[in-house]
Amino acid sequence: MSEQNEHFYVTTPIYYVNDQPHIGHAYTTILADVLARYHRLLGVPTHFLTGTDEHGQKVQQAATQRGVSPKDHVDTYVTRFTDLWQHLCVTNDDFIRTTEPRHTKIVQQVLTDLYNRDEIYRAEYDGWYCVTCERFYTEKDLADGLCPEPGCHKPVERITETNYFFRMSKYQDWLIQYIEEHPAFIQPDFRRNETLGFLRKPLTDLCISRPKTRMSWGIELPFDHDFVTYVWFDALLNYVSAIGYGVDDALFRKWWPASMQLIGKDILTTHTVYWPTMLHAMGVPLPETVFAHGWWLIGRDKMSKSAGNVVNPMALAENYGVDAFRYFLMAEMVLGQDASFTEEGFVRRYNADLANDLGNLLSRVVRMTLSHFDGRVPPCGELATEELQLRDVTLEAVAGMRDAVGRMRIDQGLGGLAGAVREANRYLELRQPWTLAKQGPEARVLMGTTLYCAAETLRMVSGMLYPVMPAKMAALRGALGCADGEPDYSRLRHWGELASGTALQPAGPLFPRIQPAAKQDPAAKGAVGAPKSASKPKKPGKEVPVSTVEGIVSYDTFSQLDLRVARILSAEPVEGADKLLCLQVDTGGDSRQIVAGIAKSYEPAVLVGKHVVIVANLAPARIRGVTSQGMLLAADAGDQLRLVTVECGAEPGARVR
């Protein structure tokens, strides 16, 4: 990340106004906020856009059910997002709604221009339509006759009707070449490979309209009043309509192209195929980077309203604090990969990083300074080996956080800052200022140096943590007597900026420790996971086969394993682990990541395209900080491992029996 960047324009997807905000929405928006705050910290002109998608059939149906107009419906429901972002300390510079006149005007202007240049044409369409996803699918797209979208899989209906189409297919070769020549455009790399894989099949033209007889709630086509604009051709244009496209050229040139467009991996195709071809047809440069992050999972499953496993971000923030919630989201997910959420994991990280380490360090420094130096930062004496080590670890963590933001590895940067805090606590244990306080004048000098160095670490770390935890870090810096409201990066990268004599303020517990909830006896009340014998006695007279030979399992035990064929989409080394590879695999209409200890046996490039066998129902695990959602089957071959592969033409997702 360069301080000389001309601008930083970051966007989130615009969220569907009917949705109940959940941890997935919160994650993308907080990530955008953290990126925006870090760039502001570096002095880079920054613009942060989010908003809501407010047109479509589902909005119209929901409004009808409530007995209100669609506009009244969206005006009511949009506050669920605006209120949540305010509560979560999100500092978006703009919030766009697709029902706003400034957006409607630009959508119709773009449609008119493309229609006049024959980029849009009218034709009859026959295909399968999913109301939930508001998308058409061909016969081969369907999954067992249902919507193929992950998390949907609902019935579709056959529709034949006249519509308008964007000539997307004519740009297929251009798009492939552009993606290959601009590797930063789609990130992470394996998502770029997914898009290129999608583009290996013939690209069809994009249906961009709906007849008013079927759906009237949308932006009217300026060249045919009997039709409204389909949601994607409407929604995607928000990224340019919000910054002056077509009305304020100077403003548009100031912010476009977008620096970072954040999306969830489920809308990869729309943002890396539909969106770039639309922009190219409009004659507009493409964004610098579209970054697709992973999903938050409960166990192996994506969070979704239909599955009933949605985590309410407001409830978590209320229970544990907004800043702790923001920190957990940023520290826990490796950007681009999926992460598994559990409340136990949240509490564990909170207690370890925030309560035990960061909060405890502040408490120690402030308490001893108040007791022994009249509440003022003591002078710093000569730095010995121990002080120099703490200084170097802290400086490295500050530089590492700045670098991590540029590499989109915020989790690594936060890990480095947490390491500096741990080093400061270790340093205090080594110097033991509480013991030095009982000794002579020379010991008092060393005690002052010790407290100064620990306080200086806190000053620098808190400044770099400010974009993630603004309220708590403002409180911490206030306790240290830092006069600046928002930290100045130029003062964070130099050791010794904390002035001796600065008055410290009493600080209560910054992060009160959370007592983990007592675990319920799994056998009690028929809980999930209870031993079957505790809830279901055997039926009398039924013989139950039992294996009596050591090491032998019954068929019932074996049949609990879900063995599936998976195709490897990408493979890359896990940082800091010479034996591990992180694989993205296709399991039949969905993808997941698996960490496997096969780096000594296979080069990553050799693995791509292989059909392997995985244990698909293995509980997710964290391996070197990376979530693994399954296990590969492999056989020993001397000092090498050889994967169990399938060469019989079985498709990804096929059951291995």
Phi then psi dihedrals of residue 196, to 5 deg: -65, -35
* 437 and 572 co-located in one domain: no
Residue 28 belongs to some domain of the structure: no
Q: Are 313 and 328 in contact (CB under 8 A)?
A: no
- DSSP per position, 536-548: -PPPTT-------
Polymer length of the chain: 657
What pLDDT, on a 0 to 100 scale, did the predictor assign at position 7? 94
Q: Are 216 and 228 in contact (CB under 8 A)?
A: yes
Q: Could you give the 3-state DSSP secondary structure of residue 593?
A: strand
Using CA atoms, how far apart are residues 326 and 364, in angstroms rounded to an integer?
A: 25
Closest CA to 8 of 241, 185, 254: 254
Cβ count near 525 (within 10 Å): 9
CATH number, domain at 590?
2.40.50.140
Spacing of C-alpha 613 from chain mean position? 28
Domain boundary residue, one of 492, 509, 525: 492
* 562 and 424 co-located in one domain: no
Amino acid, res. 574: V
Using CA atoms, how far apart are residues 188 and 178, in angstroms rounded to an integer?
A: 16
Helix boundaries (H) for 182-263: 189-198, 231-235, 238-241, 249-255
* 439 and 567 co-located in one domain: no
What pLDDT, on a 0 to 100 scale, did the predictor assign at position 526? 31
* 362 and 454 co-located in one domain: yes
What pLDDT, on a 0 to 100 scale, did the predictor assign at position 11? 98
Using CA atoms, how far apart are residues 353 and 360, in angstroms rounded to an integer?
A: 10
Cβ count near 492 (within 10 Å): 23
* 375 and 451 co-located in one domain: yes
Residue 42 belongs to some domain of the structure: no
Using CA atoms, how far apart are residues 410 and 404, in angstroms rounded to an integer?
A: 5
Cβ count near 552 (within 10 Å): 8
Query: Which residues are registered as beta bridge partners of 631?
Result: 615
Q: Are 45 and 6 in contact (CB under 8 A)?
A: yes
Residue 369 belongs to some domain of the structure: yes
Residue 327 belongs to some domain of the structure: no
Mean pLDDT of the chain: 87
Amino acid, res. 261: Q
Tokens for 656, please give them: 């291995």
* 481 and 560 co-located in one domain: no
DSSP for residue 98: T
Using CA atoms, how far apart are residues 385 and 453, in angstroms rounded to an integer?
A: 12
Domain boundary residue, one of 492, 513, 536: 492
Tokens for 329, please give them: 């989201």
Q: Are 280 and 32 in contact (CB under 8 A)?
A: no
Tokens for 627, please give them: 């979530």
Q: Could you give the 3-state DSSP secondary structure of residue 403?
A: helix
Q: Are 55 and 14 in contact (CB under 8 A)?
A: no
* 429 and 355 co-located in one domain: yes
CATH number, domain at 412?
1.10.730.10
* 348 and 439 co-located in one domain: yes
What pLDDT, on a 0 to 100 scale, did the predictor assign at position 30? 97
Query: Which residues are registered as beta bridge partners of 637?
Result: 640
Domain boundary residue, one of 492, 519, 545: 492
Q: Are 368 and 377 in contact (CB under 8 A)?
A: no
Reported as a single tens digit per residue, the pLDDT across 592-640 is: 789 999 988 888 767 877 889 998 888 777 787 788 888 998 887 767 8
Closest CA to 194 of 600, 568, 607, 615: 568
Using CA atoms, how far apart are residues 324 and 513, in angstroms rounded to an integer?
A: 12
* 354 and 473 co-located in one domain: yes
Using CA atoms, how far apart are residues 355 and 361, in angstroms rounded to an integer?
A: 9
Spacing of C-alpha 314 from chain mean position? 17
* 466 and 347 co-located in one domain: yes
Closest CA to 389 of 437, 434, 430: 430
Residue 626 belongs to some domain of the structure: yes
Using CA atoms, how far apart are residues 425 and 458, in angstroms rounded to an integer?
A: 11
Q: Are 357 and 648 in contact (CB under 8 A)?
A: no
Using CA atoms, how far apart are residues 75 and 261, in angstroms rounded to an integer?
A: 26
Burial of 397 by CB count in 10 Å (0-12 exposed, 13-18 middle, 19+ buried)? buried
What pLDDT, on a 0 to 100 scale, did the predictor assign at position 528? 28
* 486 and 568 co-located in one domain: no
**End-to-end CA gap in the chain:** 50
Inter-residue long-range contacts of 477-484, CB under 8 Å, 24+ positions, other chains counted = 478/505, 479/362, 479/366, 479/504, 479/505, 479/506, 479/507, 480/366, 480/377, 480/455, 480/504, 481/377, 481/505
Residue 611 belongs to some domain of the structure: yes
Residue 465 belongs to some domain of the structure: yes
Total count of domains within the chain = 2
Residues in contact with 387: Cβ distance below 8 Å, sequence separation at least 6, in sequence order:
427, 449, 453
Phi then psi dihedrals of residue 251, to 5 deg: -65, -40
* 472 and 568 co-located in one domain: no
Q: Which domain holds residue 597?
A: 555-643
Count of helices and strands (H, E) across the chain: 25, 26
Low-confidence ranges of the chain (pLDDT < 50): 2-4, 519-551
- DSSP per position, 19-75: SPP-HHHHHHHHHHHHHHHHHHHTT--EEEEEEEE--SHHHHHHHHHHTS-HHHHHH
Residue 375 belongs to some domain of the structure: yes
pTM of the model: 0.78
Closest CA to 570 of 336, 289, 409: 336
> In degrees to the nearest 10, what's the CA dihedral of 71, 77, 82, 85?
-150
